[in-house]
Structure 1
Amino acid sequence: MVPTLTNVAAGIPSSKVKYSKLSSPDGGHMSLKFKKSPTNIPYKAIACATLQFLIGAFLIITGCLLLAGYISKTGANRAFPVLTVGILVSLPGCYHLIIAYKAHRGCQGYSYRDLPDCDD
């Protein structure tokens, strides 16, 4: 005995199911889930990330110049704290600038929604 395929929901054998073509491909239903919404570029977040990166880069350069002895002869007493703060300030700025750049380029997996919300 060969089992026959049945429509599980209705219990109707598959040979008795009639199919008809829909009038439109989406059946008159319009899904907004798949529509692209206009991208709102978070200018404040990008400006904050740029400022963080520039301040961090300035502090890193200043720390390197202090360590080399070009600015003053104090040496590592002032250089390491300046370098540490510079690195800690520039890392999040660089990270958010990379996200903004890749979102602008349209790379898959990156969007402006990944940036922090600076609107108060």
Structure 2
Amino acid sequence: MGTRPSVRYSSLPQDEDSALRIYRTSDGPIEDLRYAYTLKEEIPWQSIFLAFFLLVFGTLFLILAHFLLTGHMKGESSQGFGFLVLGCLLFLPGFYETRIAYYAWRGMKGYSFSRIPAM
């Protein structure tokens, strides 16, 4: 059989007035702990740098594909299509994540750094 957990639970208050009380501890009064938590939004710098890296190299590959497919550079059209596919695969997620980071930095409504997955 399993052991009982060592966590001591307490029941929640039934009415709203008693839920908003101030707790007294040896350190002094503490406000209601439900509202004492503040969300600290950390900026996922590694993910933003990766997104910017994908954006830059995706753009570079799309430019190379354009030059190969239009004949401004020597090469076969299969090389141009390869760069086109790679450019799209790099550019799209890089643009998406960089756009979210930019809008979160600007403080636009609905955008935050928490929407960017951290590495």
TM surpasses 0.5: yes
Cross-structure match for 2:104 = 103
What is the distance in 1 between the residues matched to 2:109 and 2:72?
A: 45
AA partner of residue 63 (structure 1)? A
Cross-structure match for 2:116 = 115
For residues 41-87 of structure 1, give each alpha carbon's deviation from its aligned partner in whole angstroms, at most 9, with x where no partner exists: 1110110000011110110000000011111142x221112111101
Aligned pairs for 1:43-82 within 5 A? 43-74=45-76, 76-82=77-83
Q: Which runs of 5+ in 2 are unaligned?
A: 1-16, 23-30
What is the distance in 2 between the residues matched to 1:27 and 1:108?
A: 33
Q: Give the SS at the match of 2:42.
A: coil
Q: Which runs of 5+ in 1 are unaligned?
A: 1-21
8 Å contact 2:41–2:114 — kept in the other structure?
no
What is the distance in 1 between the residues matched to 2:105 and 2:41?
A: 10
Alignment of 1:32 with 2:33, yes or no, is no
TM-score normalised by L of structure 1: 0.67
CA RMSD, Structure 1 to Structure 2 (Å): 2.0
Task: Give the C-alpha shift of residue 94 in structure 1.
Answer: 0.4
Percent identity, please. Answer: 30
What is the distance in 1 between the residues matched to 2:82 and 2:75?
A: 15
What is the distance in 1 between the residues matched to 2:44 and 2:50?
A: 10
TM-score normalised by L of structure 2: 0.68
AA partner of residue 117 (structure 2)? P
Ranges of 4+ aligned residues in structure 1 off by more than 3 Å: 26-30
What is the distance in 2 between the residues matched to 1:104 and 1:55?
A: 23
Cross-structure match for 2:95 = 94
AA partner of residue 54 (structure 2)? Q
What is the distance in 2 between the residues matched to 1:105 and 1:46?
A: 15
